């Protein structure tokens, strides 16, 4: 376990702002409820619904999920190729909470933090505060799946201890305490797949934390006084993963910039520019400006743009309602007097709009253009559904009189139409095929 030395500087100040914003956003987002009553963001697994910025998405909308995952993947490709591992150093929870744990440790133990001669009481105070932070973070992580207001009420009423989410919260609390408190940089170096993945996506033009070896080497010691690097090793001492940035690009580098601040402060005493900064390798080698536009970034940008356009079109044209229609296998269509067919269909209708809506059902014989009588048990086949509400029921379809020739065709193609009564342009049609009984 590595506990790095604290380091102040311009990069540190900017990271403090970014990390504070991200932690605040993480803690606040689950509590936000929009005016129409839906959460700002929640993956409601029991109800199989995903709330996002006022939109409601369901598992049947697989294409939107595909676009979302593709956008996330291509964004990772694009931004990593352009600005390196900025996610690891500035946005990753592992980095942010490791930094927070270190702040707690230094607040309690001061200079004794991370040393063997620290007091037992002080150590266990730090551990207790780590557990508290882990529990708060875990509670809010679970709040992205279950209402935090409901969970908080359960904790106040002491009824949360028999719930499933309580044990999930305990699990994540323990996992975070062990990972952030003790595993720390080992996870970044050996377990995290994104470390290797993002390293592969970078090239010599990527903007990243880089050591200026042309100025720094050979490092100065008692005999050598050529390079600007004075071999103070401050860049290693402040590194949260314990690497030496002077050895070049490494999997362990999370691009946090602590070595940049350390080198900047040391070189300032020498009246020289920093040897470590956010540069590209090509920029160090040739002195040229960073080449932001290059084949790799252009291809990623084009692909990302195409996917975003497709996702936008899909979101704009998506229906605010969902309907699944299936013939009742246990009750096949029957022939009734006047050569009419009576069929039984099971429906599952869901309102995926953010507000309550009223719907109306109708049915048609698509082969002959005739209307089919539908009985749903609702007056005028109209009913209201709140946002996210599901209505599962069976309907009876009754065709108009069919000729002998039509009956002998074996099946009748039809469709059930769901319409928003307040906006007739909002319709959803589901086709189905009714098998026709023979006389």
Q: Are residues 51 and 187 in the same domain?
A: yes
- Residue at a domain's end among 131, 158, 193: 193
Work out the angle between the directed axes of helices 10-28 and 93-109 (0-180°, nearest 10).
110
**pLDDT category, 439, cuts 50, 70, 90?**
low
pLDDT value, residue 132 = 97
Q: Which of 246, 266, 245, 247 lies closest to 256 in space, CA to CA?
A: 245
- Strand, coil or helix: what is 153? helix
Per-residue b/e over 34-49, b at no fewer than 16 CB within 10 Å? eeeebbebbebeeeeb
Q: What's the rounded mean pLDDT across residues 156-162? A: 90
Tokens 């074996």 belong to which residue? 410
**Do residues 295 and 221 make contact, with C-beta atoms less than 8 angstroms apart?**
no
Q: What's the rounded mean pLDDT across residues 107-135? A: 92
337 domain-assigned: yes
- Residue at a domain's end among 143, 178, 193: 193
180 domain-assigned: yes
pLDDT value, residue 140 = 96
Tokens 């049609």 belong to which residue? 429
Q: How far apart are CA 372 and CA 369, in angstroms?
A: 9
pLDDT value, residue 66 = 87
How many domains are contained in the chain? Answer: 2
**Do residues 420 and 426 make contact, with C-beta atoms less than 8 angstroms apart?**
yes
Range among 191-200, 257-266, 342-351, 367-376 with highest mean pLDDT value: 257-266
> Above 70 in pLDDT, residue 222?
no
183 domain-assigned: yes
**pLDDT category, 181, cuts 50, 70, 90?**
very high
Element spanning 424, H or E: strand 423-435
Cβ-based neighbours of 70, under 8 Å, separated by 6 or more = 307
Q: How far apart are CA 236 and CA 315, in angstroms?
A: 48
What pTM did the predictor assign? 0.83
pLDDT value, residue 251 = 86
Q: What's the rounded mean pLDDT across residues 268-275? A: 92
Integer angstrom CA distances of residue 130 from 30, 125, 231: 22, 9, 35
Q: What's the rounded mean pLDDT across residues 234-252? A: 90
> Above 80 in pLDDT, residue 330?
no
Question: What digits encode the pLDDT tens for the residues 7-37?
Answer: 999 999 999 999 999 999 999 999 999 887 8
> Above 80 in pLDDT, residue 332?
no
> Above 80 in pLDDT, residue 85?
yes
Q: Are residues 178 and 327 in the same domain?
A: no
Radius of gyration of the chain (CA): 31
314 domain-assigned: no
pLDDT value, residue 250 = 85
Asked if omega into 218 is within 30° of 0 (cis), the reply is yes
Q: How far apart are CA 134 and CA 397, in angstroms?
A: 57
Q: What's the rounded mean pLDDT across residues 92-114? A: 93
> Above 90 in pLDDT, residue 236?
yes
- Residue at a domain's end among 167, 193, 219: 193
Quick one: what percent of the chain has pLDDT higher than 90? 39
- Strand, coil or helix: what is 417? strand
Reading the block at residue 409, the tokens are 């065709």
**Do residues 371 and 358 make contact, with C-beta atoms less than 8 angstroms apart?**
no
296 domain-assigned: no
DSSP letter string, 349-384: EEE-SSS-EEEEEEEEETTTTEEEEEE-SSGGGEEE
**pLDDT category, 225, cuts 50, 70, 90?**
low
Dihedral through CA 293, CA 295, CA 296, CA 298, nearest 10? 60
313 domain-assigned: no
Q: Which of 11, 9, 3 lies closest to 111 in space, CA to CA?
A: 3
129 domain-assigned: yes
Q: Are residues 326 and 186 in the same domain?
A: no
pLDDT value, residue 301 = 94
- What is the average pLDDT score of the chain? 87
**pLDDT category, 438, cuts 50, 70, 90?**
low
Half-sphere exposure of 286 (CA within 13 A, CB side): 10
199 domain-assigned: no
> Above 80 in pLDDT, residue 223?
no
Residue 97: give the domain boundaries: 10-60+88-193
- Strand, coil or helix: what is 403? coil
Q: What's the rounded mean pLDDT across residues 116-130? A: 93
- Which CATH number does the domain housing residue 392 bear? 2.60.40.2310
């Amino acid at each position: 376990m590595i506990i790095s030395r604290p380091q102040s500087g311009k990069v540190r100040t900017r990271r403090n702002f970014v990390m504070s914003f991200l932690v605040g956003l993480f803690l606040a987002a689950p509590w936000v409820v929009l005016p129409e009553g839906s959460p700002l963001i929640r993956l409601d697994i029991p109800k199989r619904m995903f709330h996002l910025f006022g939109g409601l998405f369901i598992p049947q909308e697989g294409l939107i999920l595909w676009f979302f995952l593709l956008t996330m993947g291509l964004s990772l490709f694009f931004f990593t190729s352009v600005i390196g591992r900025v996610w690891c150093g500035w946005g990753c929870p592992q980095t942010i909470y490791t930094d927070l744990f270190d702040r707690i440790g230094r607040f309690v133990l001061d200079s004794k933090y991370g040393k063997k001669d620290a007091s037992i009481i002080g150590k266990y105070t730090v551990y207790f505060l780590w557990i508290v932070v882990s529990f708060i973070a875990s509670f809010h992580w679970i709040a992205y799946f279950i209402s935090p207001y409901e969970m908080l009420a359960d904790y106040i009423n002491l009824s949360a201890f028999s719930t499933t989410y309580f044990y999930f919260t305990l699990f994540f609390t323990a996992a975070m305490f062990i990972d952030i408190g003790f595993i720390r940089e080992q996870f970044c170096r050996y377990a995290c797949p994104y470390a290797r993945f993002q390293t592969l996506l970078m090239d010599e033009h990527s903007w990243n934390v880089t050591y200026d070896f042309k100025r720094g080497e050979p490092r100065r010691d008692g005999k050598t006084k050529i390079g600007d690097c004075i071999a103070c090793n401050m860049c290693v001492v402040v590194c949260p993963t314990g690497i030496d940035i002077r050895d070049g690009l490494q999997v362990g580098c999370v691009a946090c910039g602590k070595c940049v601040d350390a080198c900047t402060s040391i070189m300032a005493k020498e009246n020289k520019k920093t040897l470590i900064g956010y540069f590209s390798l090509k920029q160090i080698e040739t002195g040229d400006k960073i080449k932001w536009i290059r084949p790799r970034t252009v291809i990623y940008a084009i692909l990302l743009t195409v996917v975003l356009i497709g996702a936008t079109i899909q979101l704009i044209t998506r229906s605010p309602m969902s309907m699944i229609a299936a013939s009742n296998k246990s009750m096949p269509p029957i022939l009734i007097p006047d050569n009419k067919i009576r069929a039984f269909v099971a429906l599952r209708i869901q309102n995926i709009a953010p507000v309550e809506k009223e719907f109306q059902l109708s049915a048609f014989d698509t082969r002959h253009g005739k209307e089919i009588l539908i009985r749903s048990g609702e007056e005028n086949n109209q009913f209201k559904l709140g946002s996210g509400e599901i209505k599962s029921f069976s309907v009876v379809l009754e065709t108009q009189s069919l000729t002998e020739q039509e009956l002998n065709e074996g099946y009748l193609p039809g469709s059930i139409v769901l319409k928003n009564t307040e906006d007739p342009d909002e319709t959803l049609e589901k086709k189905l095929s009714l098998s026709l009984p023979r006389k």
